[in-house]
Structure 1
């Protein structure tokens, strides 16, 4: 009797790209957004990033909620927050929108706050292009293989990444033990620190002994089991994104 095994889902376009390509493509746009002060450029970059994510990534319901609910809400909160604290004395003639006592919210201050909120949202969404479609292991492998980061440093970082799910398991076990013992109050949370630290030290010691036993770092080069190559589509993606970024900045300059 044979069991029907479901075929793994086909990877989405962004998932097949080199991690370094997904970092290099939006990087100029993210740097440019630090210096722009208009509304057009961050709005267009935000829209472009959303289109790339929707077309090229496998997005869960939680991620979609974050992109289309949390991000707009954050833009509103940040915009209002900056608009409240903007000094209106240095602005040109603006129209008062809300007046409470001696404090006045003007349309100029609101536009400055909106521009700041959109810039932050655009930078964050551009970062999601690589962040939502790249694993830490693939990023470390790409850094070691393409940028020649010493593999002893790279794979030590990879081992540290592997600690995270292990810590989650150990924390769950420690919480269950505290619950059984009836520990409550602030001492319960403080009691997590020492067992987690002891577990981390034990695990780090085992990893270090295993790496030394395998002569890890004894040779200059290392044969890679998992290759993360740079393909033609990676170069095309980076160049296309750069061209789009230049066009958006030029359009924003004309609109300004």
Structure 2
């Protein structure tokens, strides 16, 4: 077997085995699964750097550590492979009715709040750095994106009101979408492929943001109709739902040049509400179980 192939297989499935075994450990010690995974990744990386395990002659252990060099984790892989399914799962898990009942404060925090944060951070950096204002706004957009995983886990431990968790999770979903759209527009301005004009940028933002919502809604309704015609076969229902996440993102982002993240969020919310009448009970249970760590 080609060396590069078996090293990649060893590393991929070795890490998969470790990550799966970490789940029962996280439940036993009552630590968030994602936090424990991150700590384990840091430990593995530091162990190799300090002890030079990948350079030693310890058989499968050294080959396992050296296999990490065969992984080429590019921005494209993260953007088109990991991001759609993560966003889709998070959106699907939200109670749509409760989300819609609090949609005004959620959108205010996610959109207006992100713009305020971006301009505050960008303005502060601009006053002390001497860099261009658009570049500083770009940094502000990067730093303004939020991740609710640790916060929601703390809420659950403390028994915080469910509405508070819905606000944080919903804000995070739309916040991520807003941050990515804003970052893309500002990056194009910095690169010179778009006009460095805030008015033009605002119109482009509205077009990309709303366009993603329309694409996600239409694709989800089509997939809901197709799923309703497959005769309650759970495997087909789950496969089509997962395919929707990637296709909505790809078509919106690559072909229509609108927000792929908003398309995924919207499609998941539609499936989570209207799609429940199309997906069978067993299919929905399997879909929820697939998304759980």
Q: One fold, TM greater than 0.5?
A: no
| Higher-helix-fraction structure | 2
TM-score for the superposition, normalised by structure 2 = 0.27
